[in-house]
Structure 1
Amino acid sequence: MDWYYEGERKPENWKNICEAFKKAENTSLQSPIQLCEKTTEKFIYQKSLATRYQLTQFETSFFNHTVHLTPLANEELNVLFFDYKKYILDDIHFHLPSEHQINDESFPLEMHLVHRSRDNELLVVGITVLPNKEPANLEKYRLDSLALNPRISGRGLFVPVDVAKLLPLKMQYFHYTGSLTTPPTIGPVDWIVFKNQTYMRKGLLRAFKENVGKTNRPLQPLRNRTIYLSD
């Protein structure tokens, strides 16, 4: 079913498009949300977070209104361990502006690193992005061309990306249970959103904005759930 970020089929009306979208939205806690240090619970017992990312070849594509990167190599090259459970990186994609807000602040772009466990459980890492004059990791691997020509039909560009270098230098993170942010917005999804930002050159951010456009779902009600902040 077709859905959009503006017009009659904008996010506020996704649940009216079809029964599957309605069920997903009504039966799970939804994302994105406001993440505020003052209202979070600190981890009493620190849940372990570890990543094992390597330089990997990705294939680009354009669907669900944004750019996606899909790893081509052995799936074991890019894994994340959270609370001693292993998740494999499935997809990287981009939202403009950021979907989550951190301490009432929005950011020009948010990257989502979508991971899946062997039991088909979802964990998404959210990384908010600020502009920087210096080239960041993505520019080294021809993502400029991708941003300027996002609507690639068929097989896309092949780009090597060192996923570890997409992460912020400071790894403090929020953790909560939510949903996917595109239809059907199913849950539960474990979310890890880094408190600190990574950087992208202003020109590339501008190219994403001009060629991809607005792709963020509005903030969703917190409802009765606890947001955690790591030490």
Structure 2
Amino acid sequence: MSYKLICPFLAASLSFPVGGCQEGTKETNILNEEEDQISSDEWSYEGDTGPQYWGDLDPAYSVCIDGYEQSPINIEFSQVTKDDQNLENMEVDYHPASFTLVNNGHTVQAENPSEDNSLVIDENEYQLAQFHFHTPSEHEFNDEKYDMELHLVHEDKNGQLAVLGVMLQEGNENEELSKVWENLPETEGEDDITIDVPIDLQALLPEDQESFHYNGSLTTPPCTEEVNWIIFEEPLEMLKEQMEDFQHIFPDNHRPVQERNDREIMKN
């Protein structure tokens, strides 16, 4: 399958909630900053520290208000461009792997220390760094939300990022997601939980690989732009009870959709 890159991946860093900041590249440090540098009560999904106020909480978050390419967005199918002749090559190379679960106060995140799972785009390899969840979905299709959304975050050797987004809806059990749900950490700061049974990541992707591509931003502070998004059109199913278990921990951890402005959205 093949995809067009809307613009070059820049050395932006995805500040989805992740673990502590250590020595390393500037991008990796931003990727890992929230646990140590941004406490969970400095920004939130409600009240005076909710999404509409993120840009006022810290000068470093100003792009949350002033940015022109913010995420998430509503993907209006009638405005999508389909161009199979000019799509860049992409290959997902996923294998079963063990993960450690973290509740960082904003989401439940699965961290992967191995380098066995990767995403290759135009001959450039991105290693899977982590995946995490939002409820309800952050992106919308034709102004409609899904129950949840899964983000799989990849980073290359230069700190450049590629993110796969998968919509989740109520339905049949997904056995691989069940391995995560059996170990959900309910409390922020709780000891990390290692999932001993390997998770087959390929089962976290839909069979139909058609997807949307656009240039956006982090969906959490500092809302850094130049993040490339790849959102699969076909959703996965999971049990209603599992969604309720997550929503018991995080009743609502989504950022509302942002203005599309004149960005192009491609579909493979």
Distance 1:46 1:195, change over 3 A: same
Q: Distance in 2 between matches of 1:80 and 1:49?
A: 7
Does residue 70 of structure 1 match 2:107?
A: no
- Does the Cα contact within 8 Å between 2:110 and 2:132 map onto a contact in 1? yes
- Which range is displaced more, 191-200 or 126-135? 126-135
Partner residue of 1:92? 131
> Equivalent of 1:156, from 193, 208, 211?
193
- Normalising to structure 2: TM-score of the pair? 0.80
Q: How many Å apart are 1:142 and its aligned residue?
A: 4.8
Q: How many Å apart are 1:27 and its aligned residue?
A: 4.2
Partner residue of 1:172? 210
Distance 1:142 1:181, change over 3 A: closer
> Equivalent of 1:103, from 125, 130, 142?
142
- Does the Cα contact within 8 Å between 1:59 and 1:157 map onto a contact in 2? yes
- Normalising to structure 1: TM-score of the pair? 0.92
**Coordinate RMSD, CA, aligned:** 1.7
| 3-state SS of 1:157 partner | strand
Give the fraction of aligned pairs with identical amino acids, expressed as a percent.
Answer: 31
Partner residue of 1:200? 238
Does residue 29 of structure 1 match 2:29?
A: no
- Does the Cα contact within 8 Å between 1:92 and 1:111 map onto a contact in 2? yes
Partner residue of 2:55? 15
Q: Distance in 2 between matches of 1:22 and 1:64?
A: 22
Q: How many Å apart are 1:133 and its aligned residue?
A: 3.2
Residue segments in structure 2 that go unaligned for 5+ positions in a row: 1-37
Partner residue of 1:39? 79
AA paired with 1:112? H
Residue segments in structure 1 that go unaligned for 5+ positions in a row: none
Q: How many Å apart are 1:136 and its aligned residue?
A: 3.2
Distance 1:191 1:58, change over 3 A: same
Q: Distance in 1 between matches of 2:189 and 2:48?
A: 26
- Structure 1 residue runs of 4 or more that deviate by more than 6 Å after TM superposition: none
- Which range is displaced more, 29-38 or 80-89? 80-89
AA paired with 1:31? S
Q: Distance in 1 between matches of 2:176 and 2:133?
A: 15
- Does the Cα contact within 8 Å between 1:66 and 1:215 map onto a contact in 2? yes
Q: Distance in 2 between matches of 1:190 and 1:23?
A: 17
Q: Per-residue displacement from partner, 1:131-182 (whole Å, max 9, x unpaired)?
A: 123343211x2523316x3545233233421111100110000000000101
| 3-state SS of 1:80 partner | strand
Q: How many Å apart are 1:124 and its aligned residue?
A: 1.1
Q: Distance in 1 between matches of 2:86 and 2:136?
A: 33
